Amino acid sequence: MSFFNHFGRPGVPSSGDNLQPRDVPAANSSEHSLSPEAPAAATRQADLVCLADIEPRPVDWLWEDRLAIGALSVLSGDPGSGKTWIALAIAAALSRGREPASFSGIETAGPCNCLYASTGNGAAELLRPRFAALDGDPDRLFLLRGALATGSTQSAALSLRDLPMLEDALERTHARLLIIDALHSFLGTGSHRANDSGRTFDNLAHLAENHRCCILLVRHLRRRGRGVVPVELSAAVRTEFLTGSSPDAPTRPALVHVKSNLGCLAPSLGYSIDQAGSFSWTGYSKLAPDELMTDRPIGAGMPLRKLAAGWLREYLSAGQRSQYNVETAAQRDGICIRTLRRAKFDLGVVSTKESMSGCWNWALPEDQEPANA
């Protein structure tokens, strides 16, 4: 049945099924007539179903706890953080019947086809070599390059609103995973409006459900500090992921699971991309979502305690300052009080109080080198 003729969920009758929900009078019933002037036969009525008539269905996972069949997911990250590598690594594993990032060789239900839509990644120069390096089966990865008019060999740009083309591609490839990389390239003109984008994402979610596939949207972040996903997109997706690293450990990036309304959050997964351009999973990571979503104004890439020690030494270099002034200035510059006090201990900063009612003052030690700075 065509995607455009039926949007109903399995087990949920739609208005086209001519089914009346239990104990709910039809719209043209005289029992609940709204007014004497009501028409004899209603042309439209509410599509209702009793929850007891719906059979529960367990989640069908394409990648356990992370990517669900029949659902929409989003992968966000800063430019250059490795999002395309991760998307291809997922597709490569699934094309061989393996669970992505499995460190114990877990197999899936079997190899499956994947569909990859991209406008900015060269197929011959980038995608084919990367997929080969990831040991993917090229016979199971199909590239969606655009839309072809009848009799034409020139591909036209594809928009996510062009649902017939997406449906055609899914029907012809029987893909279980559709990757859209990058999302902004397929939104088209005018899709910045929230109501238009929301409708587009809802239609994509219905498309995934009807074709029993997972659609993974790869999204560029505009700046660090995130704000994460726009509300209209977050409402449509079932799982969300962030890629990147903590400012304190920039060489240890990870794929971090930040949202799931289908189950628990899966552990973060570390990965590396070496100087030769090879990708590999490095094991489980302790990187937490808030470490990726924090905008730190200074010292990105430096351990926080060392950063705070350097800041404190410079701030006290002109002489003692009141504790209140030190802490106020530190917070203004993005250093938390707990880290500041640890740095105070590392430097051996001396605290003195001039009188019982006076304030505490901080000063650098006179005759010793700062420790652990």
Looking at residue 93, its pLDDT comes to: 95
What does the alpha-carbon distance between residue 269 and residue 260 come to, in Å, rounded to a whole number? 16
The CATH label, of 1.10.3720.10, 3.40.50.620, 1.10.10.10, 3.30.2130.30, for the domain at 304-363 is 1.10.10.10
Q: What are the tokens at 172?
A: 């012809």
* 61-292 CATH: 3.40.50.300
pLDDT, residue 299, reads 45
Which pLDDT belongs to residue 3?
45
CA distance linking residue 288 with residue 159, whole number of Å: 34
Q: What is the pLDDT tens value at each position of the chain, 373 positions in all? A: 444 444 444 444 444 444 455 555 555 555 544 455 555 566 899 999 999 999 988 999 999 999 999 999 999 988 888 999 999 999 999 999 999 998 766 777 789 999 999 877 778 888 999 999 999 999 999 999 888 887 777 778 888 989 999 999 999 999 999 999 989 888 865 444 555 778 889 999 999 999 999 999 999 886 544 444 567 788 889 999 999 887 767 788 999 999 999 989 999 999 998 877 789 999 999 888 877 765 544 444 457 778 888 889 888 888 889 998 999 888 888 888 888 888 887 788 888 877 767 788 898 886 444 443 3
Q: Where are the domains of the chain?
A: 1-57, 61-292, 304-363
